[in-house]
Every structure is written in C-alpha cells, then in structure tokens.
Chains A and B, each alone.
Chain A
Amino acid sequence: MQDNPSLDLRDRGGPQQPLVIARDLRKYFPVKGGGGKAVQAVDDVSFTVAKGETLGVVGESGCGKSTLARLLLHLVPPDRGELVFDGEPVGVAGGLPVDALRRQVQMVFQDSYSSLNPRMPIRDSVAFGPFVQGKKKDEARKIAHDMLSKVGLDPSLFGPRYPHELSGGQKQRVNIARALATGPRMVILDEPVSALDKSVEAQVLNLLRALKRQFNLTFVFISHDLNIVQYISDRVLVMYLGRLVEIGPIDEIFDRPLHPYTRALLASRPSMDPTRRIEEPPITGDPPNPIDPPSGCRFHTRCPFAEGVCETTDPMLGSWEGLRSHVAACHMHDPRSGHSGIGTA
C-alpha cells in the first residue's frame, strides 16, 4: 500500500525514532500457593526496535520469549517498566492508549490450529479484526478477501472454509492474513513456522519477507531456530531465563558472539558438514528454575567460564571493545569486573 515509509500518516517520530522502546520491562507470574514466589518470566528487559527492521528473539524454551511478545502488545500488563511506541508511552495517562497500540501492532501465533476459531469460516476470522476496529461488515469482508489473496490463498475457494479443512501451512497463511488485516505497522511473530515442515516453512518465510516489503512492516520474530533467525533478522536479541543477555546486528552476533550462552546456542546448531560432527553438547542440563533463579549472572550454573564474581554480581549490559550496537551482559568482557577474562576470544 505505502511504498515510502514517510507516507504513513501514523508515523509520528520520523525514521530515526525507534518504533518501540522497551525500558526495564518486567513480568513476574505469581505461583499459586507459592508463598509470594513468582516465575520471573521477563526481568528488566530493555531494548529498541527500529522502524522497518526485523528483530529476532532467541532463547531456550521457557526463557520468556513469548511473555515478552505479549508484553509488547499489552496482552499481559507489565509489572514494571515502560513501553514507548513511536515516541509515545503506552498505557499511561496522556500516552498512547492500549487500544490504539493494538491498531498498530499485531501478532501471529505459533499454533496455527488453536489460533483460528474452529467454528468460524476463515474469511470471518480474517475480517474480525477490521470489524472490531470499526469497519462495516461488508468492508471488513472485502479486506479479508484482499488479504487472503495477498497471502496466496484464493479467497473464493478458501474463504468459506473452516480451519480443519486447511493444512498447517495454509492455516498459518490465514493467521498472517488475519494479523495484517487491521493494517498494523509492527507484527510480532511468535514462532510462526516452528510447527510447519521444512518446505512449507520456506514458503511462509518468503511470504513474510515479501509482505514486510509490501506493507512496510516492522517484525519482531521469535524463534528457537537460529538458522531461521539468521535468514530473516536484521538484529538478534538473546534471552536467558527472563534476562536479555546479548543484543546486536545479525552478523556481529553470529560471527563474534560475546556471551557464553550465545556461543553455546550457536555451537549447538546441527552441523551440515559430516566431518565436523558435534560430539559433545555445548551446554548440558535444563535451565534453572525461573521461580528461584541463580544469584549473580543467571547463566553461571551452566557457564564454562564462570568465576567467583559471576555468582555474586549481576553483570551489566555493555558493548565492551566491540560495536556500540552490539551489547552483552557478561563479566568476562568487563575488565573492571574481576573476572580473569579467560574465554574472551
């Protein structure tokens, strides 16, 4: 629709203003009968998302990726912290109301099955968003019609169908159409291709790239598959146990990872070269319990370079000797931390 970002009337801050600024976002989920204990799903995470970029979010299962996604949409209210959307603080007096945020941010869910109403024809599922946001019923249906063809599904053939009559890849296309039907500026993709097989995965990824260009979107792309993140992202955010441990441009992260956890994640990728098999898993064991995370650096229980300081002191995010856009939270790179620095490449 818009070929030039500056033509978007909703763009208030200009191209230099980050679309999203998250500052110290925190969400703890109280444990039932846990005597005041809580799962520390997202703990003081700060980052920005620039206009038009794709920010990849990676981390193990249960590290808070999905909670972070829901925080960005205010589907769960943050306990603490601030969310600024295009220069306007969200959900505070005088700021951007949550409703207005949801007109500009949408989400694609992982489970394409449960994310569509089984009793609703898919064109109605797609039309629901525009309808809720004030379009007339036939207008909304027309938008749904257009969106379905944009994601490569013939509207007259697929529109009247029910989700159970579609394949996984088709359902995920419908989910994408549903997310784009309200004309968002940013789309949060929560593991959008994890449930799909490889050939369909590639189709959906290519579709996403094309739609991003066409609608001038900003993506937050959550995945545990590093290959996909490398393929689609401009920058990557690495999470561990509710904390942001490293964030930076895609090439920087993949070529010069700073945090031992990022290195371990990268090393754990299956090698495509049979002569370079991975014999030993780079990290072992399950991640610690997020109800009672380790003191100091949360990764120290599994870190090969952990020293005394890591158990006692929380590391700060810093760019150390590298690029300013590439920051990590690790004592190893901080000459003043007291860490011996063994392990810095």
Chain B
Amino acid sequence: MTDTIVLDKPVGAFEEQALPANRVRGYWQSVFYRLRHDPVTLVFAGIVLLIVLTAVLAPLIAPFDPYKESIVDRLKPFGWRGHLLGTDELGRDMLSRLIYGGRVSLLMGVVPVVIASLVGGILGVIGGFAGGRTNTIVMRTMDVFYAFPSVLLAVAIAGAMGGGMANGMLALTLVFIPPMCRIAETATTQIRALDFIEAARATGARNITIIRYHVLGNVLGPVFIYASSLVSVSILLASGLSFLGLGVRPPIPDWGLMLSTLRQSIYVVPLVCALPGAAIFITSICCNLVSDGLRAAMDVRM
C-alpha cells in the first residue's frame, strides 16, 4: 500500500479504525444489492417490464388493427381464424386490443401517481418542514379529502368534470395527493427533529438548502415506496372509472372499458370476456409485489 495514512497530529490510539474496504457501499448500491438477491421481486419486475414493453411497442407486436371490426367474426373463442385470443363483440382482435389497452391502463396507472407524488410530496415537505400553522393548514386540507373513500372521490370528481382520459387522470391525481402528502409530511417531521438539521442550520444554511441537501434524500425513499404501491391502485381505479363510463371513451381500447362492454357476453365466450380482468389482475399484482420487494430492499434501519 502506497497511500499511507498521515495524521497531522496523531492523538490517542485509534484501534477502532479499519473496516474491510469492501464494506464501503452507498445506500442505493446496497438497495440494488439486496434487490439482486431477491428472486421473487426480480421475476415480477421482469413481468412488469414485459407488460410495459408490449404496451410501448404495441404497433410492432399487435397482430391486427385493434379498431378493425368484422361482423362475421364477433365473439369468437381462442384461436379463431388467426385471432389467438378470440374476438370481442364487434369482431375486433382481442390480443391486439389487450396490447393497446395496456398503453392506456399503464398511462392511467403511472401518470396520476407521478403527478400526485410531486404535488403531494412538495406540499408534505413544506408542511412538515415549516411545522406550526402552515403544517396545520396543509394537513387539515388534506384531511378533508381523506373523509371520502378513494373510489367514491374519484368517481365524484370524474363525474363532475365529465368523462375522458384527461379528466380521469386528473381525478385520480386529486385522489392520490392527500395520502402522498401525508407520507412526505410524516417523513419530513421525523427528519426535522434530528440534530443534523440543527447542525445544518448552525452553519447558516437557508431552509431551501437544508431541504435540498438534507430533507429530500431522506423523504424520497418512503415517497417512492408508497408511490410504487399506488400504481396498482391507480390502474384498478382507472379501470373502474372506464368500466363506469367515466374514463376512456370507446372505441379506444382500455382494459376497464373492455371488461365493461364484454360482460354482457360472459355466457357466450366466458374465457375471452375474462381476459381484460386477467390483464388488470396480473398487472396490478405484479406492480404490488415489485413494490413490496422495493420496500424490503429500501426499508433498512441504519
């Protein structure tokens, strides 16, 4: 070793110095390390990735045009004349519609959560860091939204604003802001009471600097974990909205909407009618399991 330790002023004996160098590992590195050793999460993350990829690459993958109707091929079972997963009530190819429907569902699952995390996170950090009256105002406002069950609230907002994808997303975003805000506020309040915030203040740092360097890094973890668990909820709620006719409008392929229109034909082609439900189920359960894995990998008491 050439890099010998030179102390300007050796003081006392430092017998507690050395730890093996390979233990030096950052927080995110350790998170990835634990994730890599969690096969269940890896498998389900793989499935989620697959679903996302099929949705993104839908035009390349889908065997048929999802809008092309055919009177003679209505409600046919699996494998009918090249339609691998059968056809729906207008004779459109189910596989293609499911692949395209994934685009809408994933979009409705992710976009509201991302926006809600940003807005709710910022509000929560501000409320938690400022404390006192500011916090009370922010959190009591959120509590008002808490008073309603989330499904009811989403339906009410979407209903009041009228259907459509954008309004559906807006409704979901509004539903997710309060819980997101609460998570961020709790994390911030805990962090704010710790001495290192006071130490940062003692160096003369402005609040915004303290938040940026000392608060955000500690709040990001819980917010991210919670957001990942909300994705599946959002997909389900979005499907529910579409099912009720408050989300996506026909003929755009959407899992919830497909489930709604196909339910009348459940006795004709039961397996085909169950497909959109299965897609929602698989996607949301995979998202949930990945979120659980993330929680386990990130939630380490240090």
> Hey, which bits of chain A sit against chain B, CB under 8 A?
70, 73, 75, 98-99, 102-103, 105-107, 109-111, 114-121, 125, 128-129, 132-133, 149-150, 152-154, 156-157, 160-165, 167, 169-170, 175, 178-179, 182, 200, 202-203, 206-207, 210, 214
The answer, among B9, B201, B221, for a CB contact under 8 Å with A210, is B9
**For chains A and B in complex, what number of residue pairs have CB atoms within 8 angstroms?**
112
Pairwise interchain contact A150-B302, C-beta atoms closer than 8 A: no
A-B contacts, 9 of them at CB < 8 A, read A99-B204, A103-B204, A119-B221, A128-B205, A150-B9, A160-B24, A162-B302, A164-B302, A203-B11
Q: Which residue of B lies closest to A152 (CB)?
A: B14
Residue-wise interface mask of B (127-139) relative to A, using a CB-CB cutoff of 8 A (1 in contact, 0 not): 0000000000000
B14 / chain A contacts, CB cutoff of 8 Å: 152, 203
In the bound assembly, the distance between CA atoms of A281 and B203 in angstroms comes to 42
Q: Given A115-B199, A117-B217, A164-B302, do A157 and B18 touch, yes or no (CB 8 Å)?
A: yes
B1-20 near A? 1/0 per residue, CB < 8 Å? 00101111111111011110
Residue picked from B3, B7, B10, B203, most chain A C-beta under 10 Å = B203
Chain B contact residues, CB within 8 Å of chain A: 3, 5-14, 16-19, 21, 23-24, 26-27, 194-196, 198-205, 209, 213-214, 217-218, 221, 302
Task: Assess whether B27 is in contact with A162, with CB atoms less than 8 Å apart.
Answer: yes
Q: How distant is the Cα of A203 from the Cα of B194 in the complex, in angstroms?
A: 26
Contact between A149 and B302, CB atoms less than 8 A apart: no
Cα distance A294–B13 in the bound complex, in angstroms: 48
Given contacts A73-B202, A161-B24, 18 further A-B contacts (CB under 8 A): A99-B204, A102-B202, A106-B203, A109-B199, A110-B195, A115-B195, A115-B198, A125-B196, A150-B9, A152-B10, A152-B11, A152-B12, A157-B17, A203-B13, A206-B11, A206-B12, A210-B9, A214-B9
Pick from B5, B8, B200, B213: contact of A150, CB below 8 A: B8
Closest to B191 in A: A117
A residues within 8 A CB of B23? 165
Q: Which residues on B sit within 8 Å (CB–CB) of A182?
A: 203
Contact of A133 among B195, B204, B217 (CB under 8 A): B204
**In the complex, are the beta carbons of B199 and A119 less than 8 A apart?**
no
CB-nearest residue of chain A to B200? A128
Contacts of B13 in A (CB 8 A): 203
- Chain B's closest residue to A99 (CB) is B204
Minimal beta-carbon separation of B19 from chain A (angstroms): 7
CB distance from A311 to the nearest CB of B (A): 38
Residues of B within 8 A of A133 (CB): 203-204
With A and B bound together, what is the CA distance between A162 and B10 in angstroms?
A: 24
Q: Are B194 and A114 in contact (CB under 8 A)?
A: yes
What separation, in Å, do the CA atoms of A226 and B199 have in the docked complex? 26
Chain B residue contacts of A121, Cβ below 8 A: 26
Q: Give the shortest distance, in Å, between A205 (CB) and chain B (any CB).
A: 9
Contact A165 B202 (CB under 8 A): no
B214 with A117: CB separation less than 8 A: yes
Q: Which residues of A contact B21 (CB under 8 A)?
A: 157
B195 engages A119 (CB within 8 Å): no
Nearest chain A CB to B18's CB is how many angstroms away?
Answer: 7
Question: A152–B214 Cα gap in the complex (Å)?
Answer: 25
Question: Chain A residue with minimal CB distance to B195?
Answer: A115
Asked whether A128 and B6 contact (CB < 8 A) given A154-B17, A170-B16, the answer is no
Contacts of B209 in A (CB 8 A): 132
Evaluate contact between B5 and A162: CB separation under 8 angstroms.
no
Cβ-defined contact, B199 with A107, below 8 A: yes
Q: When the two chains form their complex, are residues A178 and B217 in contact, meaning their CB atoms are under 8 A apart? A: no
User: For B201, what are the chain A residues with a Cβ–Cβ distance below 8 Å?
Assistant: 75
**Which residues of chain A come closer than 8 Å to B27, judged between CB atoms?**
119, 162
Are B302 and A152 neighbours in the complex by a CB distance under 8 Å?
no
| A109 vs B204: C-alpha distance when bound (angstroms) | 16
From B16, B18, B24, B218, A165 is in contact (CB under 8 Å) with B24
How close is A73's CB to chain B, nearest CB, in angstroms?
A: 5
Inter-chain CA distance A161–B201, complex, in Å, is 23
Asked if B11 and A178 sit within 8 Å, CB to CB, the answer is no
The 4 A-B pairs with the shortest beta carbon distances in the complex, nearest first, are: A164-B302, A115-B195, A129-B203, A203-B12
- Please name the residue on chain B nearest to A203 by beta carbon: B12
- Residue of chain B at shortest CB distance from A101: B204
- The residues of A that contact B217 with a CB separation of less than 8 Å are 117, 119-120
Query: CA of A117 to CA of B194 in the docked complex: distance in angstroms?
Result: 9
Q: How distant is the Cα of A190 from the Cα of B162 in the complex, in angstroms? A: 61
Q: Name the residue on B nearest A112 (C-beta).
A: B195
Q: How far is the CB of B263 from chain A (nearest CB, A)?
A: 49
Q: Which of A154, A160, A175 contacts B26 (CB 8 A)?
A: A160
Contact: A114 with B195, CB < 8 Å? yes
A111, B7: Cβ atoms closer than 8 Å: no
Q: State A248–B200 Cα separation when bound (angstroms).
A: 33
Closest residue on chain A to residue B18 by CB atoms = A157
